[in-house]
Amino acid sequence: MKFLYYPLFLFIFLLAPAFGQVVTTQPAFPNADAEITLIFDLTKSTDSRAKGLLGKQDDVYLWSGAGSTAAGNAFEFQPAGQTDFAKPFTPGKMTALGNDKWQIKLVPRTYFGVPAATPIRKLGLLLKGGDGKAQTEDFSIVIYDASFNLTRLSPGQKQFYVDANTSLLVRYKSSQSATFSLTLDGQPAASATGTDSLNTLLNTGTQSGLQRTVIVKATSLSATTGTTAISDTFFFTVKPQSPIAVLPTGLQDGINYTGTNKATLVLYAPKKSFVYLLGEFNNWAINPAYLMNRTPDGNRYWLDLPNLPAGETAFEYLVDGTIGVADPYADKILDRNNDKFIPATTYPNLKAFPDKAQGNTVSVLQPGQTAYAFQTTGFQRPAVNTMVVYELLVRDFVQNRNYQTLTDSLAYLKRLGINTIELMPVTEFSGNDSWGYNPIFYFAPDKAYGTKDALKQFVDAAHKQGIAVVLDMVLNQADYEFPYVKMYWAGDRPSADSPYFNQQATHPFSVFFDFNHESPDTKAFVDRVCTYWLQEFKVDGFRFDLSKGFTQKNSGNDVSAWGNYDASRIAIWKRIYDQIRTVDPTAYVILEHFADNTEETELANYGMMLWGNHNGDYRNATRSAQGDFSGISYQKRNFQKPNLVGYAESHDEERIVYDLRQNGTTTGSYTIKSLPTALDRAKLAAAFLLTVPGPKMIWQFGELGYDLSINTCSDGTTINNDCRTAAKPIHWDYYKDADRQKLYKVYSALINLKTTVPAFATSDFTTDFTGVVKRLTLRSASVTVFLIGNFDTKPQTINAGFPSSGKWYHFFTGQEVQITDASQSVMLEPGAFHLYSTSKLPTPDAGLVPFALVPSTVTAVEPEPVSQILISPNPAGEQTIVDINSGYRGVVDLSLRDAGGRSVRSMSALKISERLRQPIDLQTLSSGIYFLRIQQGEQQSVLKVLKR
């Protein structure tokens, strides 16, 4: 789950009709250069946040701006010093009038610092508490010039629907004495003479579905200005009566294609009065022929479209005459504000947004489509206990930000060895640049990443490579443009009669609008979404965002209470899981839960997988040897099944190598902050993550040691931690770095063990992850595996604790070692780790880890001596000589490291004969023990050197 926020004044266009009730001005026609009094009546505010202002006697402030055009930005100019919404703004301090009424007096041009030559046409306003935690909705008031002006006081809207045979209050005010005339559809209906106001009632009549035009004209009676006329127009329509008709059988909510050029549209809209269909087929105009049928129960509206043209046709629903929404089940959405920024290389031939549409999003009809033909059949999903999940965000993984480039990158992931990809959210979300946790349409892949067929091709290609695809699904919340948020809206939150959403989230981590998962309508919607992606896109399951939020048990702002065992939440998840498994018996269901372990255990034992976040533990252990990640073991959590998806990094957590380089410990000459050492420590973390039985997850580029903070901005800077969800620099160049590539190969080698060697999926294992030296033992019928690692920043001489004496094989060198005493003492370099097995495992590339094979206590047994290496003198003074006799010809790499693992000398020599003598300079080195690693092709040897 992530925290996002709305920009201030997002909903000003929605809330403006309420301004006449909350805000009044003296004079009624304020101008830019004279003092005006703004009076607020907080009892009439519709924003729930304003409740925190009620009853105050002090600490209420104006937050405001001025705009130079009627249609432009109302905060173009702001008073000097108004910068921090969370602090009191002293010039905007309000005066209490009693009964929750407040006022302030100001001269607009002076208060906002607007140049004399610049007009002021409106003010943007709200009231807030000093700390910004309580506030009203946003308001806009008109600023007038000195000429004859007319303002409409009622109705508050310019175009609206009314009930038949009702009285419509019409009120106008002029800035001077005037005569008024009111016409209805061109016919005189009311008048007033010698006054500055008009106040009358109109009967709306019974003629439904017809737009009526009201024009009010005021003519000035002022002797100074002469005869000046000004007028205003508004429109009303009597609500139409929808035809009642039974929904034909076999149809479902959304778009139903009934032929190559036919479709029936069905909109579930309980408690709504009528719905018009608007689109390219009627030039986006209200037309009685497109008034949708209403089912007898009043819950659905439907209409046949029998003669659709070939290709794409855009449309929307106009609900109750005022709410323009796209189809919530559409698989393609056009976006007024964002589509123009999508490059043609990502989405070729994208249809232009229709300017005449009412809403900001419209849906697309596509009859006669050619279905994507999946090429990969019979794909076998990885067993849960062998899963290695690679979590990625398309935007931040490939430079082109599209599915096609992602598909081209599968070879890289195949070489790495992962068997599952978890895509961060790809359903249509607000904007084009996002983590995706602000969904607005659940059946449409977001076009910012490409076409729906490109996404299907990616899934198909991944399956061909033996890789499963899991979608990060966001069904805990939705953003405002989701039709079922927009259709049931109460000013600043979902309405009380919403079939899908809570007015207030039941938990403290809500960001957008919170689904009610006990609502029958939400249940049906969730099931439809999951079925669609499993069947239409053949995905292999879901990771559900903020699954702990799927509850109606209200915990308010108490985070601890929210995490307590919740039987109702468990019931919700068991129902969803059962329904998914009915559709697809092997689909993965992964929860981002983080609740009481008793609850997680019950869900895990039922079959669900749980995210296991150990980022802090692994970071602490690798940077300072303080971490205990015992909980990475599903058995330590009392899970009966290996259903814990353990990870050291995710999209939501700080990157390990960044933390190591910023905060790593330094002991003597050993510093974790240096990149080579930080990468070696990342190998240590990977070893103690991936080898633990149960599914594991890695975050994109963790295998290359991505070392930019989660708070890094797109330009690579980190400013006040404000860029958490911003796009990150993409560093495929890391793969070309020799040290980073070694980390990649360590990941690859460990992943290969996990996915191919049964011992790494055993249920018979022991963990010892509490001290600075940590151990893991895996037991299976064919092999025993022993992992030991030193997380300290200084050497540790300890009891090795081998499970048994006898013959073992060192994984990273392939060497056979003979353990004569399982409890014998060994010396481990800082950050050193060693993986041993009783049967030889596939040996990875040589030189991936720099650690000596604990040479002081373990006797290496070479099958056949292939070379003779002597060091003389040893102990040495200022120089020693390495004498190599072998049949090898080629480059010999020599690396001398101190007891802390730090490289102090490195060189290469070309061996062209049987013997090579290579001097090593020791002059500047301190007295002590050093280890010389000698690499001859695939053969590696490590010898001890004593400097006097």
DSSP annotation string for 137-163: --EEEE-B-SS--EEEEESS-SEEEE-
Residue 215: pLDDT band (50, 70, 90) is very high
167 and 131 in one domain? no
Indicate which CATH number applies to the domain containing 908. Answer: 2.60.40.3080
Question: Per the domain annotation, does 693 fall within a domain?
Answer: no
Q: What are the pLDDT digits (tens) for 721-767?
A: 679 999 999 999 999 999 999 999 999 999 999 999 999 999 999 99
Please report which confidence band the pLDDT of residue 16 belongs to, taking 50, 70 and 90 as the band edges: very low
Task: Grade residue 310 by pLDDT with cuts at 50, 70 and 90.
Answer: very high
Question: Domain boundary at 120, 142, 164, which?
Answer: 142
Q: How confident is the model at residue 435 (pLDDT cuts 50, 70, 90)?
A: very high
pTM, two decimals, is: 0.82
Q: Are residues 163 and 219 in the same domain?
A: yes
**Residue 635 confidence (pLDDT) above 70:** yes
Whether 26 and 132 map to the same domain: the answer is: yes
Looking at the chain, the whole-number percentage of residues with pLDDT higher than 70 is 95
pLDDT at 532: 98
Q: Does 878 fall in a domain?
A: yes
| Co-location of 64 and 129 in the same domain | yes
In this structure, the answer to whether residues 60 and 167 fall within a common structural domain is no
Instruction: Show Cβ contacts of residue 273 under 8 Å, excluding neighbours closer than 6 positions.
Output: 239, 242, 320
Can you read off the two tokens belonging to residue 331? 């698989």
CATH number of residue 258's parent domain: 2.60.40.10
Q: Provide the CA 341 distance to its chain's centre, in angstroms.
A: 20
Same domain flag for 34 and 138: yes
359 in the same domain as 258? yes
**869, two tokens:** 């290496």
Confidence of residue 825 (pLDDT cuts 50, 70, 90): confident
Is the pLDDT score of 855 beyond 90?
Answer: no
Does 886 share its domain with 766? no
Looking at 839, 861, 883, the residue that finishes a domain is: 861
Q: Please check whether residue 717 lies inside any domain of the structure.
A: no
Domain end (from 841, 861, 881): 861
325 and 233 within one domain: no
Residue 721 has what pLDDT? 63
Task: Determine, yes or no, domain membership for 886.
Answer: yes
pLDDT per residue as tens digits for the range 140-153 = 999 999 889 999 99
Q: Each residue of 338-370: pLDDT tens digit?
A: 999 999 999 999 999 999 999 999 999 999 999
Regarding whether 796 and 905 lie in a shared domain, the answer is no
The CB-side HSE value for 267 (13 A sphere, CA atoms) comes to 31
Q: How confident is the model at residue 422 (pLDDT cuts 50, 70, 90)?
A: very high
Residues 134 and 154 in one domain: no
Residue 226's Cβ-count burial label (10 Å; 0-12, 13-18, 19+) is exposed
Q: Is residue 390 situated within a structural domain?
A: no
Structure confidence at residue 861 as a pLDDT band (50, 70, 90)? very low
DSSP SS3 for 302: strand
What's the average model confidence in pLDDT over 637-646?
Answer: 98
The answer on 917 and 812 residing in a single domain is no
In one-letter notation, the amino acid at residue 502 is: N
Strand-pair category, 825-828 with 867-872 = unpaired
CA distance 918 to 924: 18
CATH assignment at residue 856: 2.60.40.1180
Write out the residue range of the structural domain in which residue 86 sits.
12-142
Per-residue pLDDT at 3:
38
Kindly indicate the confidence band of residue 223, based on its pLDDT and cuts at 50, 70 and 90: low
Region of residue 851 (left: phi > 0; alpha: psi -120 to 50; beta: else): beta
pLDDT above 80 (res 853): no
Total domains in the chain come to: 5
Q: Say what the pLDDT of residue 399 is.
A: 94
Interval 542-567 mean pLDDT: 96
Give CA angle at 639 (633, 641), nearest 5°. 95
Torsion 690-691-692-694 (CA) sign: positive
Condensed to tens digits (0 to 9), the pLDDT of residues 589-598 reads: 999 999 999 9
Assigned domain for 231 exists: yes
pLDDT for the residue 7: 32
Please indicate whether residue 892 or residue 785 has the higher confidence score (pLDDT). 785
Q: Cα(642)–Cα(542) distance, rounded to whole angstroms?
A: 17
106-120, 255-269, 815-829, 901-915: which has the minimum mean pLDDT?
Answer: 901-915
Tell whether 439 is covered by a domain: no
Return the DSSP state at 620: H
Q: For position 623, what pLDDT does the model report?
A: 96
Amino acid 224: pLDDT: 64
DSSP letters, 814-827, are --EEEES-TT-EEE
891 located within any domain: yes
